[in-house]
Structures are given as structure tokens and as C-alpha cells.
Amino acid sequence: MQSTIKKVFVGVNDEEVHREFIKFSRGIFESRYLLIGKKMKNGKEWNIKTSAEYASYLVKKGLEKVRGETKIIITGVIVTTQNIKESLGIPYEKIKQFAGVKQAIINTEVSVGELLKVMEEMPKAFFGLSYKVPGYQLKIKAKAPKSGKPKTKAGDEEPKADFCTLKTDNKEVIEDLFFDYPKFDEISVNHTINIKEISVPKGITDPVELREKAIRKGTITRNLSVDGQVYKEEKTLEA
């Protein structure tokens, strides 16, 4: 499993990449997909902090090497526009709803297989779930992320890499998130997304379908600070 940003920079353009960028309109979106990484003194583990964009990826990534029947305790929220009262598939405490968005409050024990099945059946949902398995301790804020609007004025609050916190010894996670500079003591990454054009398919009149099938074209600039050295890379985006 690869993160969306890595897929873009290595030239993979699949349905997951397309789905990730549906939320973007035309404009310049600064300080997106934020990452902070620190290698721990024992040399075997890392502390990672990220913005909300990585939440669902981190939830799923930590379960790759865990057997499907293994039980884990999960807490947090699942956020979606789908009707989930009868179809969620795992226990929930309650469901909050506002402006068509449903937020299921989760505090339960499930098997890894059950959770992965829910994530596969709800690919558009936001999974803000915390859990712990060997070598992977994940904490995510139990709330829906803010909508990703372009910064419009100097006083706007800057996004922070504080939505997800991960302590792990999983090198595959490090090599995926920090694919260009996986060896570091301290690293920070942010991305500027510039959507220059939205190509709308012909013959479709439904506004929701138009939005979901439109192709966004532009660039992603990856800005890094690695052990005091600054790097920048730009990649064309068409998704």
C-alpha cells in the first residue's frame, strides 16, 4: 500500500489518487499533506506527526501485517455522507449528523478483518481511528477534518502537523511517507497544490457526478527540510 502523495511522485495515477483530489477546486492550496518525522534515540523507532490528509492511510497501513482474526480496540470517528446507521458493519456508540455529513462515534473491539472490510466498502469515508498493535501506536483526533479551502488572507490560521501521531518501528511506513529521503534524524514536509484547470466530462448533467468525474490538472510542489537541508520538487498532477 502506497500513500497518495508517493503515488503521484512515482507516476501512479489510479482511482485512489483521483478520489483524493476530488475535494480540490481551482486555486493554490498551501501547507497540505504535512509531515514531521523524528528518529528516536534507540535508532529503531520513529515518531511521526501528520495533518488530517494521512489519517485513513495510517489506519489501514498499520494493519497490513496483522492477522485478520486479531482483535483490536479502536476509538475515534468515521465520517461519511453515506447512510451508515444500518450498513456500517461494526458497533458504534452514536451517530452525529450535520448538513448531510454523518459522524459515527466509535469505541469498540473488532477484528482487523472486520475493520479492513469496512474501509474497503467505504472508500470515500474518513477514518479517524486510534489503535495500538505491536510496533505501531496510532493516535488520531476524534473529529472531522476541516474543509481544505485556499488561504485567502494573511491572518488565516496555518495548518499544522498535529492531527495524527504515530510511534512505530515499521520501516515500510517511513520509506513510503518519506520516499525521497527515508534516512533522517529530523524531517518536515509540506506540499503546495496548484489546481490550474478542471476538465469536465461531456454528457453529464448531475452536479455530484460531474464533480466526482472531473479531472483536476496542475502541479504539486513538495517542500522538505531534512536535518537542516532544504529541498524542493515539483510534479505535474492530472487526477
pLDDT tens for each residue of 161-213: 999 999 999 999 999 999 999 999 999 999 999 999 999 888 888 888 888 88
More confident of the two residues 226 and 88: 226
**H/E element holding 173?**
helix 171-177
- 138 Cα distance to chain centroid: 13
pTM over 0.85: yes
Q: What is the mean pLDDT of the chain?
A: 91
pLDDT digits (tens, 9 = 90+) for 5-35: 999 999 999 999 999 999 999 999 999 999 9
List the chain domain ranges: 4-238
pLDDT, tens digit (0-9, with 9 covering 90-100), for 129-173: 999 999 999 999 999 887 655 555 555 567 889 999 999 999 999
pLDDT exceeds cutoff 80 at 233: yes
In the prediction, which pLDDT does 3 show?
95
The C-alpha cell of 108 is what? 469498540
Q: What does the pLDDT read at residue 51?
A: 97
Average pLDDT value for residue range 78-86: 84
pLDDT at 97: 87
Single-letter residue type at 14 = D
Phi-psi region of 174 (alpha: psi -120 to 50; beta: other; left: phi over 0): alpha
Pairing of strands 164-168, 27-39: unpaired
Residue 82 is predicted with a pLDDT of 83
Backbone angles phi, psi at 172, to 5 degrees: -65, -35
Between the CA of residue 210 and those of 20, 24, 113, 179, what are the distances in Å? 15, 13, 34, 33
The answer to whether the beta carbons of residues 35 and 84 sit under 8 Å apart is: no
State residue 100's pLDDT score. Answer: 84
- Give the neighbor-by-neighbor strand order of the sheet with 186-199: 94-98, 101-111, 71-80, 126-133, 136-140, 164-168, 46-50, 27-39, 186-199, 215-226, 229-238
DSSP H helix total and E strand total for the chain: 6, 11
d(CA 151, CA 44): 38
Q: Which helix H or strand E contains 43, and what residues bound it?
A: none
Residue 166's beta-bridge partner residues? Answer: 48, 138
